[in-house]
Amino acid sequence: MTDTTSDGSAPDEQYAPDPNVLERSAAAFLKQRYPSEDATPHALGEQALGKLRRIERRAVVYAALAGILSGLLIGGIEVFVRRGLMDGMQGMGWTEQLPYWIKFFALAGVVSGIEILFLYWNALRAIGRIGRVAGIRLKGSSRGTLMVHGLARTALEFPNPRRPVYGIDPYALMPKWKFVMQNLLYRMKVGISSFIVRVLLRRMLGRAALRGAIPLVTGPLYAIWNAIIVWRIMRQARELALGPYAVEELVQRIAERAGEVGERARQIMLDGVGEMLMRSQNAHPNYIYLLSRLMEELDCIEQTIDVDWSARLKDLPALNETERQCVVELLVVASLLGGKLRGGKLDLLREACEALGLRLNTTLLPRLHRRIMQGQRIDGDMARSPVS
């Protein structure tokens, strides 16, 4: 198996050819600590799945403990500065309160900075271990580089980059205002959440008699927030790390039947994944991994996919039985790879089923997604089970 398509176009170059300094540093940390040069994606047994859960649980607990400590320190600093240095600031004007705010935010900034660095380290360490359990090569291949940058972005909570993937704009169907707001919220969510928490605390603890309880309240609140954020990161990292196994199993089945798959069916499969990528509105690394492997196994010469799904829908009824099976398996598994099963991806599955004279049973899709999230094999019959 090679790591580039036929013209040498590496999948990591399709994803993020110019990673920023934070992403490069996080990726270097993962490659140094968890190189896994000989690893291959594989199914997880009960022991490996249990280890994966322990890694995730430990990361969430550490994040919560960091939140408790940070909240206690910041809350304690506020009480100390208010009462110890400023005599409670009773009756003070804004200019008289200014020294308090300077001292408080300086000290709170130091505490928050240390907490953020710890949370990044905690997430990266856990994600590296998840990659090792899943059999992801984080070093020594272009697909490994693709995965390591995807995992690094997950740990840093960076959105996937907006750039064409084999000529496809993943965000082509996303309204511009939504894209702008999405990126803005990615950059502001920590500050906004912190601001909301502080406003609520000041409303709750407005009376001077209650201000001494600030450390008791901030600790648990910060712990809960940290735990929620790291739990989301761990879930995204698991999906990213376990996706390549599902891709390899899928592509291998298609490769075994490649002799019965004509050029029209191959174009339908490529356009189908490209359309799924656009409808997901997310340049998820698993889609890039899938496209790279699919183009490799189908011996594609052209590396730019000009998606025309409406035309491909008209070609679907003319496929033979083997080609239909390949297309259905591909679209079902692809719909489960990159984040939530959104309406656009479901619509694509329904459109394909309607063109093939089949019916989609959406209640079976969550079960297949759970299998991916647990590192379990999805064979051809399972992949086709939601379609009848």
**Per-residue confidence in pLDDT tens, the chain, 388 aa:** 445 443 446 888 888 888 889 899 999 999 888 877 677 888 999 999 999 999 999 999 999 999 888 878 877 777 676 665 555 555 566 676 677 767 777 887 788 888 888 999 999 999 999 999 999 887 778 888 899 999 999 998 888 888 889 999 888 877 666 656 655 555 444 444 544 554 455 555 544 444 555 556 667 877 888 898 899 999 999 999 999 999 999 999 999 998 899 999 999 999 999 999 999 988 999 999 999 999 999 888 778 889 999 999 999 999 999 999 999 999 999 999 987 787 889 999 999 999 999 999 999 999 999 999 999 999 999 999 999 8
216 shares a domain with 119: yes
Return contacts of 208-216, CB within 8 angstroms, 24+ apart: 208/88, 208/90, 211/78, 211/79, 211/82, 211/83, 212/79, 212/83, 214/75, 214/76, 214/78, 214/79, 215/71, 215/72, 215/75, 215/76, 215/79, 216/75
Q: Is residue 334 part of a domain?
A: yes
Q: Is residue 277 part of a domain?
A: yes
Strand, helix or coil for residue 352: helix
Strand, helix or coil for residue 168: strand
278 shares a domain with 338: yes
Give the residue from 201, 219, 240 where a domain finishes: 240
Its domain, for residue 328, covers: 242-384
182 shares a domain with 62: yes
Give the residue from 240, 257, 290 where a domain finishes: 240
Q: Is residue 2 part of a domain?
A: no
- Dist CA 164 CA 104 (whole Å): 45
195 shares a domain with 111: yes
Q: Is residue 6 part of a domain?
A: no
- Dist CA 284 CA 345 (whole Å): 14
Asked whether the beta carbons of 366 and 386 are under 8 A apart, the reply is: no
Give the residue from 240, 271, 305 where a domain finishes: 240
Strand, helix or coil for residue 360: strand
Asked whether the beta carbons of 327 and 295 are under 8 A apart, the reply is: no
- Region of 91 please: left (phi>0), alpha (psi -120 to 50) or beta: left
Count how many domains the chain has.
2
318 shares a domain with 181: no
158 shares a domain with 281: no
pLDDT of residue 178: 63
Neighbours of 89 (CB within 10 A): 16
Whose CA is closest to 317, among 305, 327, 307, 308?
Answer: 327
Asked whether the beta carbons of 251 and 205 are under 8 A apart, the reply is: no
pLDDT of residue 172: 81
pLDDT of residue 219: 73
Taking the alpha carbons at both ends of the chain, their separation in whole angstroms is: 34
What is the residue-wise DSSP string for 99-151? HHHHHHHHHHHHHHHHHHHHHHHHHHHHHHHHHHHHT---SSSHHHHHHHHHH
Q: Is residue 327 part of a domain?
A: yes
> CA–CA distance from 374 to each of 50, 258, 366 (Å)?
10, 29, 12
183 shares a domain with 35: yes
263 shares a domain with 192: no
Q: Which residue stretches of the chain are H helix?
A: 11-15, 21-33, 46-79, 94-134, 142-156, 176-204, 214-256, 263-280, 285-297, 309-315, 321-335, 343-356, 365-373, 380-384
286 shares a domain with 338: yes
- Dist CA 139 CA 260 (whole Å): 36
The kind and range of the H/E element at 211 are none
> 360 has which bridge partners?
387
Q: Write down how long the chain is.
A: 388
316 shares a domain with 218: no
The alpha carbon of 210 is separated from its chain's Cα centroid by a whole number of angstroms, namely 41
Q: Is residue 3 part of a domain?
A: no
268 shares a domain with 282: yes
Q: Is residue 113 part of a domain?
A: yes
232 shares a domain with 94: yes
Asked whether the beta carbons of 179 and 162 are under 8 A apart, the reply is: yes
